[in-house]
Structures are given as structure tokens and as C-alpha cells.
């Protein structure tokens, strides 16, 4: 083998190794550190538009749960796409407006990904009025309305009022979309266990005119 042939072979091997390492690092980053995610619906408008892309921090979930106010990507309970609630003491059912939001999810994780905002955490009490989340540390209150300049007005939709408070179970988080009148969220299928949360969305990178931190 001539020196020139050996040089070409060595360069090819080096290129293959570099590409393999780059792909391995990319997969490792997506699996454990940062994962891109495309917004599939209008439930987070006006904060996030359909087709917008965000970056999700996965590593933070290994060191604790999210915080109230965070936008998170997670697996909902099975039946969430059909608004099935798995409340204790009765079989899975559909939650109607005008009463209490769903207090317990179906105890099985779905494979789909949802993106919503955390509005209440473990042990907190919550009810919903005109699309606004009212949260307290105990059932008696005092209840405080979330600071929510980011939401779309709920309007006359029956999904906007769930005046009976529920307690978020330990290790669970209550999720709501920013488009309160058009969001399929914890009001209908219950709070989400920490272990079902993939990560916290921290930035948007597409389209170019919406690049920035969340």
C-alpha cells in the first residue's frame, strides 16, 4: 500500500470515528440532557404556537421536580386524549364542568407527549375560575390567583370553571395549557406524577422570530 493510499484510508477511518462520536454524543444529549420538541397543538397559545420548537432540559429532572410556573413536557395518564379521569372510589369517568377538577389520574402512563404549564404542586389545593388557577396551601385557604399574564382569555367556555377545590396528591403536579379554553389538561384527567415528566422547556429555537428563553 502506497503512502498516499494509507493516508486516504487513515483519513476515512478518522472521518468515520468523528461521525460516530458526534452521533453518539447527540443521542446521549437527547437521552439525558437536552431534547428538542415540536409544539403539536394550540393548547399553549399565545406562549407557544403550533409548529414552534422548544428545547427541554432533562437533566434537571434527575435532581428534583419542576417548579410552579414551569412549562414541562411529560407523558399524560392513559385516556387523557379522551379526557378520562381515574379518581379514587369510582371507575374512570369523564369530568364535567361546574364541579371539581379531576383529582386523580388513571394510574397508567401513556406513551404520547404533552406540553403544559405547572400551576400547582404536591399537597396544594386548587380550583379554577374563569380559566384562572386559584391555589392554597390548605383546603381553607387563603386561595391566591396565579399571576397569569401569559394566558389566553377563557371566555364563556364551560371548561373555564371548576369551583370545587381538590388537593394535588404527593409527588404529583397539576398542569394547564395557557390557552385555557382550548386545552386538554389536568382539569379533565388529573395531576401528573413526577416520574412521568420528561423535562422543563427552557428555550425556543424555531421559528427565528420567536427565538428566546421561556
Which residues have a catalytic role annotated? 43, 116
Determine phi and psi for 37, rounding to 5 degrees: -150, 135
* 112, 77 Cβ separation under 8 angstroms: no
Alpha carbons 15 and 82: distance in angstroms, whole number? 49
Alpha carbons 180 and 87: distance in angstroms, whole number? 22
DSSP class of residue 7 equals H
Select from 69, 44, 47, 108 the least CA-distant residue to 200.
69
Cell 416520574 maps to which residue? 195
Amino acid at each position: 500500500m502506497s503512502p498516499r493510499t494509507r493516508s486516504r484510508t487513515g483519513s476515512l477511518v478518522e472521518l468515520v470515528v468523528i461521525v460516530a462520536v458526534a452521533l453518539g454524543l447527540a443521542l446521549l444529549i437527547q437521552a439525558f440532557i437536552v431534547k428538542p420538541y415540536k409544539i403539536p397543538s394550540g393548547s399553549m397559545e399565545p406562549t407557544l404556537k403550533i409548529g414552534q420548537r422548544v428545547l427541554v432540559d432533562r437533566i434537571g429532572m434527575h435532581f428534583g421536580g419542576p417548579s410552579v410556573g414551569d412549562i414541562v413536557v411529560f407523558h399524560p395518564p392513559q385516556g387523557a386524549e379522551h379526557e378520562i379521569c381515574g379518581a379514587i372510589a369510582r371507575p374512570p369517568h369523564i369530568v364535567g364542568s361546574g364541579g371539581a377538577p379531576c383529582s386523580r389520574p388513571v394510574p397508567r402512563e401513556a406513551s404520547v407527549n404533552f406540553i403544559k404549564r405547572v400551576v400547582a404542586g404536591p399537597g396544594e389545593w386548587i380550583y379554577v375560575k374563569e380559566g384562572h388557577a386559584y391555589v392554597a396551601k390548605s383546603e381553607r385557604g387563603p386561595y391566591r390567583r396565579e399571576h397569569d399574564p401569559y394566558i389566553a382569555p377563557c371566555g364563556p367556555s364551560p371548561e373555564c370553571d371548576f369551583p370545587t377545590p381538590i388537593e394535588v396528591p404527593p409527588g404529583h403536579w397539576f398542569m394547564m395549557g395557557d390557552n385555557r379554553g382550548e386545552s386538554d389538561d389536568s382539569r379533565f384527567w388529573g395531576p401528573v406524577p413526577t416520574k412521568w415528566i420528561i423535562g422543563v422547556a427552557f428555550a425556543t429555537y424555531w421559528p427565528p422570530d420567536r427565538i428566546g428563553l421561556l
